[in-house]
Amino acid sequence: MKKTLTIDKTKRICWQTPEQDDIEKLSKQYNFHEMIKENMLDINAESKFSTIDDNFFMALAFTKYLKSKSKYVFNELDIVIWKDYIITTTWLFSEKLDMVFNQISHESKDIKNSYKSSPYFILYKIIDVFYDKTLNSLDKSAKKLLNMELNIWKNERDFVNELINEDLNKIFVKHNFISQEDVIDELIEHLDIIGEKRLIIYFNNLKQKLTKIIRTIESLEEKNDSLISAYNTYLSIKSNKSITRLTLINSTFLPLTILVGMLGMSERTMMTGQTNRKIAYPLFIFLCLIIAYITYIILKKIFS
Q: Enumerate the domain spans of the chain.
A: 2-236, 239-303
State the average pLDDT over residues 15-41: 90
- Alpha-carbon distance values, 114 to 9, 10, 109, 157 (Å): 10, 11, 11, 57
pTM over 0.75: no
Mean pLDDT, the chain, rounded, equals 80
Q: Which residues pair with 89 in a beta bridge?
A: 15, 78
The residue ranking higher by pLDDT, 1 or 128, is 128
Considering the chain, what percentage of its residues have pLDDT values greater than 90?
Answer: 21
Residue 258: is its pLDDT beyond 70?
no
State the average pLDDT over residues 253-277: 57
State the average pLDDT over residues 123-128: 92
Provide the pLDDT for residue 271.
Answer: 52
Say if residues 221 and 213 touch (Cβ distance below 8 Å): no
Written as one string, the DSSP assignment of 9-61 is: TEEEEEEES--HHHHHHHHHHTT--HHHHHHHHS--SS-EEEEETTEEEEEEE
- Alpha-carbon distance values, 189 to 82, 139, 181, 194, 197 (Å): 17, 31, 13, 9, 10
The residue ranking higher by pLDDT, 232 or 140, is 140
State the average pLDDT over residues 64-86: 85
Provide the pLDDT for residue 224.
Answer: 82
CATH architecture of 2-236: 2-Layer Sandwich (3.30)
**pLDDT class for 108, splitting at 50, 70, 90?**
confident
Provide the pLDDT for residue 21.
Answer: 92
Give 173's DSSP letter: H
The residue ranking higher by pLDDT, 130 or 295, is 130
The residue ranking higher by pLDDT, 91 or 160, is 91
**Lowest mean pLDDT: which of 17-26, 82-91, 99-108, 274-283?**
274-283
State the average pLDDT over residues 225-252: 71
> Most confidently modeled of 76-85, 159-168, 272-281?
76-85
Say if residues 65 and 136 touch (Cβ distance below 8 Å): no
Provide the pLDDT for residue 250.
Answer: 67
